[in-house]
Chains A and B, each alone.
Chain A
Amino acid sequence: MSTLTDQEIMKLVEGMGQEDVTNKPLISAPVPLLVIREEYQNGSVQVLKKLDWLQEQGWDQVWRARGDGDCFYRSFTIAYLLRILHDAYSATAADQALETVSKAMPSMKSCGFDMELAQDFIDPFLDILRSFKAKDTADRPSEYSLIQLLQDPERSNSIVVALRLVTSAYIRTHADQFAPFLFHPITFEQLDENEFCRSEVEPCGKEADQVQITALSEALDVGVRIAYLDRSDVGAGGDGGDVINWVESGKVGERPLTLLYR
């Protein structure tokens, strides 16, 4: 098994409610999956089984995102950027990403966002994507430089906001598709797409659920699958079946981004 195949990028999203999350980096350097296993050493057998299975399948390291409510968006960002970085034709992959983001812009405008304000958040993301095409290879990003960028609160949070706006615009312009799933996460009150986006998508610190994950995945045309590290029993794996619960969104047939949630 290779240490890390380019497409098999996995991050650990730490749960909320941990003691003082603000001391943790927004995104960590890669951590061996065995370190995560250590934390469950005396815990659930099911969780250990899932971690061992992930390890066997080649997912042997994770990038941890701070559990501040923005972790999905930040995890998505590092996975998305590392995918481009490790692409054999990363300049082309970056061009495709730039094209996809630019396609998302008109719908943001049609949702009534003040585009001058929105652009301030989108530009840092576009700048990173453009940097993959730098003429001088020394100016192109490395894994280290990408992590550094995403640890810088100003740029990191701008990108979170940009992705929240992309997500919001997609939900608002595909209201029919999402309408049956737009609920307040605590009261289960039914919301219309505008209410949902204003209260659950656009504000920073609001956690993403299936609707937001699906919307971002479709808007940026990349599959996402999330491994849920719960205690459920999902079989022995001996029959070739997966020993984990995947929650999948978008085009999962084509090398989805892989995230870990616990």
Chain B
Amino acid sequence: MFANNTRAQSSTAARRLMKEYRDLTADPLQDMITAGPISEDNMLEWEALVQGPEGTPYEGGIFAAKLRFPSDYPLNPFKMTFDPPLLHPNIYPNGDVCISILHAPGDDPMRYETASERWSPVQSVRSVLLSVLSLMHAPNSDSPADVECAKLYRDDKPEFERRVRAQVKSLLGI
């Protein structure tokens, strides 16, 4: 959308991200998620650590994700990638999180993903991370990123949960 304007925007992006980082540090998300720049030299690359919510098969796990911000942030959304990838219907096998709030308006991979909330400049890292937490509670198998996983979640939930728990254990090295 603003492809050739990227350089002019990057100072805005850094300023805005500094503000978001400060706010997240001052008021962490229920101690469930921490997020911040990997290095103070580059505000456009963050790492987040997400705790698996209680009462879900992700409970007990701590999941690392990279947040990559475009230089015209917050006009366009950032990308969030779990590394290592996380077994979840709305996470691509390569770890990319597929959630409508992280989609730019023109970008519609699901075609009729109609009235879903889109990225807008008043969204923030905080609002996206909260959506990711709620997605861990309740996957959306209607617009799956990992089709196999979505099918398993829909057709055989106990097996889905068993595999997620096994992944959590192996990630923790138990």
Contacts and interface: CB of A to CB of B under 8 A. Distances in A.
A204 B121 contact: yes
Contact of A204 (B4, B16, B120): B120
B37 to A, nearest CB: 18
B122 A113 contact: yes
A61 interface: no
Contacts, number: 87
A233 interface: no
Contacts of A205: 1, 104-106
B153 to A, nearest CB: 25
Contact of A69 (B5, B76, B106, B116): B106
A103 to B, nearest CB: 20
A69 B75 CA distance: 13
Nearest to B121: A161
Contacts of B72: 153, 157
Given A22-B3, A154-B12, A202-B120, A184 B106 contact: no
B9 interface: yes
Contact of B117 (A154, A199, A204): A199
Contacts of B76: 204
Contacts of B9: 153-154, 157
B142 to A, nearest CB: 14
A9 B48 CA distance: 49
28 contacts: A22-B3, A22-B4, A23-B4, A68-B1, A114-B124, A116-B19, A117-B121, A152-B8, A153-B2, A153-B5, A154-B5, A154-B9, A157-B9, A157-B72, A164-B120, A184-B115, A191-B115, A198-B120, A199-B114, A199-B115, A202-B120, A202-B122, A203-B120, A204-B105, A204-B120, A204-B121, A205-B105, A205-B106
